[in-house]
Amino acid sequence: MAKVKTQFVCQNCGYSSPRFLGRCPNCGAWNQMVEEREQPAAAAKSNFTISGRATEPEKISTVNIQKEPRVKTELNELNRVLGGGVVPGSLILIGGDPGIGKSTLLLQVSGQLEKVGKILYVSGEESASQIKMRANRLGVNGDQLYLYPETDMGNIRHQIETLKPEYVVIDSIQTMSEPEVTSAVGSVSQVRQVTAELMRIAKTNQITIFVVGHVTKEGAIAGPKILEHMVDTVLYFEGDTHHTYRILRSVKNRFGSTNEIGIFEMREAGLQEVANPSEIFLEERLAGATGSAVVVSMEGTRPILVELQTLITPTLFGNAKRTSSGLDHNRVSLIMAVLEKRASLMLSNQDAYLKATGGVKLDEPAIDLAMAVSIASSYRDKEIPPTDCFVGEIGLTGEIRRVNRIEQRVGEAAKLGFKRIYVPKNNLQGWDPPTDIQVVGVTTIAETLKKVFN
């Protein structure tokens, strides 16, 4: 018999080494090297095809495009994040914190998709009776929805060949095991092999497969990074378990935009989509408060109005503290440095606490102006008019730089009753502003603060 070879594989990034290492040289993680048996090289499959086409080279000029019609669910928020609906034969990965609602979302979607095709719900974490109890609470039922508590990929393959479903849900990928792989369940080798098998099933049989992925304490999907490279779409389900609102964010999508988000509210009867999230983010805004400014942020193709709050207090120690929630910490420090240099605000001896309300995370440059105005409002202890909102990027010289999709931003602000919006002056060319909102063009941050507070 051939000698069994072993290797040590990093469970964080998939790096392999012939000997044990305390620290992974690839990703720097400590105590993540686990001993696994080295798998023999599998024979190449010569009959592997994708979408029924042979794998022989073709000229790009002769390739025929076969447009597959998307399947729409009853959740319009999910349809938009996916790029317009579910693409047949796609492999979709959904990650999120424990208890955030991943299984609830997929069970609801399963109840909707079973009306248009057969669906197999495979669970490696719950029994059929447990899933049925949650299905009763969500009002999910149907003769086309099959529950299958199983973790062995050999049995799952057999059931897929027997039932021939149009949709498959795998909950979760870390609990599935490939019999041919001798390493432990959830290891890098198992996750990589199971994902490769699911991808082969999806592409050769035109079956749409939804996969649930666990996340690490850092918030990334557990397992090797190749897991996200292999699938077609990666969605993150975000939110605070202490609040009812959830955000479904696309970070990879081969069939649509990667900037879209969908907003849901967790209720007793399941997830309900939020049609107008701007009203939710602004409904608890306190009248007359200082340090509060509203920004019109673009999440994909959707404009969302979010309140930015700032609290500036004198520091009690030598180094001023900078704390942010939902905003990039480096961007906060940059804006405060510009305000100190270009607007004569002495912030070096002030502690700053900034927050984007509603649990949303903002990372686009267009939030700079609202952030700067809210900081100045809290520092000067002067209120910003409640019907004003702000859009603009700030440069290091204090200039206000143009942003994209200005027409949609201004239109959304006018729809929600705002009377005045400050925008970059260069954005005023080439379009006609609405008549029910005053559009103020500004060039520098100093000019903006003078117009807002004087």
Question: DSSP letters of 386-453?
Answer: TTEEE--EE-TTSBEE--S-HHHHHHHHHHTT--EEEEEGGGGTTS---TTSEEEEESBHHHHHHHHH
Tokens of 158: 């057999």
* Average pLDDT of the residues of the chain: 88
Name the residue among 337, 286, 277, 335 with its Cα closest to residue 304.
277
Determine whether the annotation assigns residue 25 to a binding site: no
Determine whether the annotation assigns residue 98 to a binding site: yes
197: pLDDT confidence band, cut at 50, 70 and 90? very high
Determine whether the annotation assigns residue 156 to a binding site: no
Residue 359 makes CB contacts below 8 A (sequence gap 6+) with: 238, 239, 240, 243, 245, 247, 326
Name the residue among 429, 432, 410, 405 with its Cα closest to residue 420.
410
In the block, which residue shows the tokens 């107008």? 276
Determine whether the annotation assigns residue 96 to a binding site: yes
Q: Comparing 365 with 181, which gets the higher pLDDT? A: 365
Q: Comparing 317 with 332, which gets the higher pLDDT? A: 332
Give the pLDDT of residue 55. Answer: 63
43: pLDDT confidence band, cut at 50, 70 and 90? very low
Give the pLDDT of residue 7. Answer: 85
In whole angstroms, how far apart are CA 308 and each of 27, 167, 291, 317? 35, 41, 8, 26
**Residue 324, preceding bond cis, omega within 30 degrees?**
no
Determine whether the annotation assigns residue 102 to a binding site: yes
246, 266 contact by CB (below 8 A): yes
Determine whether the annotation assigns residue 100 to a binding site: yes
In the block, which residue shows the tokens 């579910």? 86
Mean local confidence (pLDDT), 164-172: 94
Determine whether the annotation assigns residue 83 to a binding site: no
Q: Comparing 223 with 133, which gets the higher pLDDT? A: 133
Mean local confidence (pLDDT), 24-48: 68
Q: Provide the 3-class DSSP secondary structure of residue 35.
A: strand
> Looking at residue 65, what DSSP letter applies?
P
Determine whether the annotation assigns residue 103 to a binding site: yes
pLDDT of residue 346 exceeding 60, the answer is yes
User: Residues of the chain with pLDDT > 90: what percent?
Assistant: 58
